[in-house]
Amino acid sequence: MRGDSGAIWCDMTLYRTMRPVVLASASPRRKELLALSGIEFKVVPSQALEPQPDDSETPEEYAVSMARIKAVEVSGRCPDAVVLGADSVVAVDMDVLGKPVDKEDAARMLGMLSGRTHRVVTGVCLVMPGREDMVFHVSTDVTMTEMPPEVIRAYVLTGEPMDKAGAYAVQGRAACFVTRIEGSYTNVVGLPLAEIVALLKKREVVLSPRP
């Protein structure tokens, strides 16, 4: 492909994948985000039970704990792979909002988020054969406009909130509710992509392309 300067550019992936990588998530959003990097991976959803947060846990501790549970369970079935687990929660002060159980629960969550700033916290766990597990979390502040009850009801009826932490999708119809994002946008979607790629490079799971 020829650029405007006349130089010849070859199509290539952003990174070379050096070891088998498994994403321990059934989330299509996480799959789409990781695929953007060009990293080769396969998806093996976790079958682990997901306990509710303990009152003594912070949102950050809970997200990291859930990511570890998912990654370790999948690693047991894929022992030769590098397994990436992630879990996202929405935090209003110290209250953890996961996925709504029904439409009423979704409306309740959106009412809590209306007109205020909340945190989206994603815990990440990387399990590698013969190496110590790596865990971290990324937090992003999201501010939402006031949402009248009738708007909340209309949004819930679209069905979009039902499988999303905090009952909204920033990359979907809920984009019109968000007035400010401070931090990683991809973290709000479900995967802090830049931070994950940096970790995979540090562990030499992926390398930069050859010159």
Half-sphere exposure of 46 (CA within 13 A, CB side): 22
- The residue from 11, 80, 87, 102 that is catalytic is 87
CA distances from 113 to 80, 129, 144, 150 (A): 42, 41, 7, 15
Catalytic (active site) residue 102? no
Active site residues: 87
